Structure 1
Amino acid sequence: MTTQRRYDIDWLRVIAIALLLIYHIAIVFQPWAMFLGFIKSNELMEGLWKPMSLLNVWRIPFLFYVSGMGVYFAIRKRNWKQLLMERSKRILLPFLFGMVAIVPLHFLIFQAYYHLPLGYVPHPAHLWFLGNIFAYVLLLTPLFFFLKKSERGRFKRKLEAFMGNPFGPLSLSLLFVLEVLLVKPQVFEMYALTWHGFFLGLLAFFCGFLLVYSGKAFWETILKWRWAYLALALGFYLTRLLVFDLAAPGYLLAIESNTWIFAIFGFGYKYLNKPSVLLSYLSQAAYPVYIIHMVALHAAAWVILPLNLPVLLKFIGIVGFTAGFCFVVFEFLIRRIPFLRPLFGLSWDFKKAATKSISVSASTQKI
């Protein structure tokens, strides 16, 4: 069974990772940065947080949606044993390696910067996301393969018809509203290592699978109604900003989050479903960059924050340093050294992966 690769989903994943880097760098310039384990700038840019707050209700749920979609594509050509083995290599191995080899580096940079006693206890830090995804795969694999076997059944037909209605995707927001009402998170945007983050991620992961499973009707719906979803998202955000001073109730944030996500999927499907050599490279880089970016960010803060520069130049400098650091480490170490590749979620064979990536991009230029 073959499936056409969805380049828009690849592009959106790359863009989401890039936004995550900028989001984390913005935290450095907020007064509460140290509370989250970030080195804090003495000169703040609190105004920067308003545009960042537009991202923080959907950036993590969006990545969980995309991860669930990825599992759907994976099981089209794998049985459950192959799926678990593949996900163990691609997710569990980098997660465990990261906790013992990557996370300690940025913890030690933070401790050294503030002249704290050096020490480390195994901690997932920003890699909590990978731990959650692997748990979701273990929990939901039986259900996913049950749905795969009944792909021509009544449930699939009804789901496809339901997603052909613009209220179909939006109705999924009710699940996220229910999660907020039951879990009662103190802060909606605090996803890392919380029960709220775990259950919200589980819902987004499952819904991502269901949306792709439902077939073309979902994509036609979000394509047609993308502007309406965007208008709703902007309306919810402006309400949060102007009425609630960014502290809206969790149930409103749950709805806003999903309207952003469906708008993004709609515009991505319209404009980004195209292959390119650049996409092939960035898709391969996104995962390793996610794993190493906190080391790069802390190193950048260590070097740039003490400099006698305007705060805006410091922000730009940290963005550039972090991006450059990640590029150099990925391009000249992770990508080219065979034993490092699987530790960052890549296949062993660099030359084979590069050849396959280029050939796929070249052949699909004709589509």
Structure 2
Amino acid sequence: MTTLTDNRRYDLDWLRTLAFGLLILYHIGMYYVADWGWHIKSDSSSTMLQNLMILTNPWRMSLLFFISAMALALAQQRSRRLSLFSLRSNRLLIPLLTGMFIVVVPQVYFEALAQQLIEPGFISFWWQYINPNTTLLPEHHSPIGLLTWNHLWFLPYLWCYSALVLLTAPLLNALAGSLQPLSGRIALLLAMAVLICAWYFLRQAYPSSHALLDDWYNHAKYFGVFIAGYLFALQGNWWRSVIVFRRWFLLAAIACYSLIIADRNGLFDSLPPAFGESVSGRLLVGVVLALNHWGWILALLGYAGRYLNRPANAWDKQGKVLHYANNAILPWYMLHQTLIIVFAVWLKALALPVAVEASLLIVLTCVGCWAGYELVKRFWLSRWLFGLKVRLPAVKAEYATPVTR
């Protein structure tokens, strides 16, 4: 089987960094769009911003799952499955619990405060939030009370998908070998077919909830992408083809995005309503959505493979940025949405022009994430809680156990 797995793929590191950076900007944008629900909302909204956010909305999280699966496939060639499972569990589940009990709490607090559902008082709210038997906000309860993971839903989903893939890795590796003669075009059509079926049969019955247990449309979409990423990483010929045809993927993605925006702005309103509800009409929409989804993912993968897969010297500027990003990305991800909400509440009271407010919100969020990471990385306990590599404190010589012969 031909693979591209001998060396570290720096393009995947860069893509992951850029995707999480895009996620921060996207969540800041959620504060300023009117049609989509979010924890708090600005008094100003922008349709143009919403149209721009639709550009990334269908594939942004899929790209992260795709990259994560590729990284898992490549890592499995150097590490045992049990070691990888332990590593992913430690770096996903511990930060998830940290986020649920500490990081996410201000999001729930300020959302309830904005809706006038609670009285001010963060500490008293936090005690109710961590109490599984609380009677506060009963309409917002999950099976564990008010505890929630909010934007950290990616972590439990990624852990579940990783566990399933590691459990079935021998079968998937054998499947990857049998797929070697399959052309990239056929593989793309199969991936699109899976996404079209998920959209056609599950989207309306199981709308996105990020609740894990009943989120069947998202599971069909994201787990399908995860499996595709795992298999893709083991196919050198597919990877090379994506790099060669990156411009065509980009053109297809732009064309499909243009159709989606045109539809949202009423360009196809003259079509008979029955067409949109017919099997052929829904399938046509599904094809456009699937090609838009995979077109952007493969275009980005192709351009990254062409221009970003270069060894980064730890002493040059590019190497320092990538080294920092690889270490800081999880704490930044955990902290960013809470900081957005806290700073948005503070800035809203100042009644600044929206352009000034949005610019400050971006700057303050990034500075807050940087400061948070700088604090987290200095202590072994906070490093462990935020998913960073941990070196336990050295035992002082006077307290060390003496060696006896």
TM-score bracket for the superposition, by shorter chain length: 0.7 to 0.9
Q: What's the offset of the Cα at 1:158? A: 4.4
Aligned to 2:132: none
Contact 2:176 / 2:231 at 8 angstroms: preserved in 1? Answer: no
Contact 2:65–2:222 (Cα < 8 Å) also in 1: yes
Q: How much does 1:112 deviate?
A: 3.6
Contact conserved, 2:196 with 2:287, CA < 8 A, in 1?
A: yes
Whole-angstrom CA distance in 2 between matches of 1:42 and 1:287: 31
Structure 1 match to 2:323: 280
Three-state SS of the structure 1 residue aligned to 2:179 is helix
Helix, strand or coil: the match of 1:31?
A: coil
TM-align CA RMSD: 2.4
Q: How does 1:123-138 map to 2 (within 5 A)?
A: 123-138=148-163
Match of 1:237 among 257, 277, 284: 257
Provide the residue aligned with 1:60 in structure 2. Answer: 61
The match for 1:82 is 83
1:22 equivalent in alignment to 2:25: yes
1:104, CA displacement in angstroms? 1.3
**1:322 paired residue number:** 365
Deviation, structure 1 residue 55:
0.5
Q: Partner of 1:364 in structure 2?
A: none
8 A contact 1:166–1:222 mirrored in 2? no
Contact 2:202–2:217 (8 Å) recurs in 1: yes
Q: Deviations for 1:258-291, whole angstroms, at most 9, x for unmatched residues?
A: 1110001000101111221210111111111111
Cα separation, 2, equivalents of 1:46 and 1:157? 47
CA contact (8 A) 2:31 2:38 kept: no
Aligned to 1:122: 147
Q: Is the counterpart of residue 173 in structure 1 residue 209 in structure 2? A: no
Q: CA deviation at 1:166?
A: 4.2
Which aligned pairs between 1:1-367 and structure 2 lie closer than 5 A?
3-32=6-35, 35-37=37-39, 39-117=40-118, 118=125, 119-120=128-129, 121-148=146-173, 150=174, 155-163=175-183, 165-185=184-204, 190=208, 192-193=210-211, 194-214=215-235, 216-245=236-265, 249-274=285-310, 275=312, 276-331=319-374, 333-349=375-391
8 Å CA contact 2:66, 2:230 repeated in 1: yes
Match of 1:356 in 2: none
Percent of residue pairs identical: 27
Which sits farther off after the overlay, 334-343 or 9-18?
Answer: 334-343
2:401 corresponding residue in structure 1: none
Residues 191 and 272 (structure 1), Cα distance of their counterparts in 2 relative to 1, 3 Å cut:
farther
TM-score by length of 2: 0.78
CA distance in 2 between counterparts of 1:237 and 1:18 reads 21
Question: Structure 1 residues 56, 282: CA separation in 2 closer, same or farther (over 3 Å shift)?
Answer: same
Q: Which runs of 5+ in 1 are unaligned?
A: 352-367
SS in 1 for 2:182: helix
Provide the C-alpha distance between the structure 2 equivalents of 1:327 and 1:147, rounded to a whole number of angstroms: 39
| 286-295 or 193-202: bigger deviation | 193-202
Q: Which of the pair is proportionally richer in helix?
A: 1
Given that residues 172 and 231 in structure 2 are in contact (C-alpha distance below 8 angstroms), is that contact kept between their aligned partners in structure 1?
Answer: no
- In the aligned structure 2, how far is the partner of 1:198 from the partner of 1:211? 19
Q: 1:314 to 1:250 in 2, by over 3 A?
A: farther
Deviations 1:196-251 (A, max 9, x none): 1122111111111010022x212210111000000100111111111353999445
Query: Which SS does the other structure have where 1:123 is aligned?
Result: coil
Q: CA deviation at 1:126?
A: 0.9
Match of 1:363 in 2: none
How far apart, CA to CA, are the structure 2 residues paired with 1:137 and 1:162? Answer: 25
Amino acid at match of 2:19: A
Note the C-alpha offset of 1:111.
Answer: 3.0
Q: Does the 8 Å CA contact 1:58/1:260 hold for their aligned counterparts?
A: yes
Contact 2:192 2:287 in 1 (8 A): no
Which amino acid is 1:127 matched to? L
Equivalent-residue separation in structure 1 for 2:87 and 2:391 (angstroms): 15
With 238-247 and 191-200 compared, the bigger mean Cα shift is at 238-247
Which structure 2 segments of 5+ residues have no match? 119-124, 130-145, 269-281, 313-318, 394-405
Secondary structure of 1:131's counterpart equals helix
Q: Which residue identity does 2:303 align to in structure 1?
A: F
Greater shift after overlay, 16-25 or 99-108?
Answer: 99-108
Greater shift in the superposed pair: 112-121 or 265-274? 112-121
Q: Using a 3 Å threshold, how does the CA distance of structure 1 residues 322 and 258 change in structure 2: closer, same or farther?
A: same
Tell me which moved more, 93-102 or 22-31: 93-102
- Counterparts in 2 of 1:187 and 1:59: CA distance versus 1, 3 Å: farther
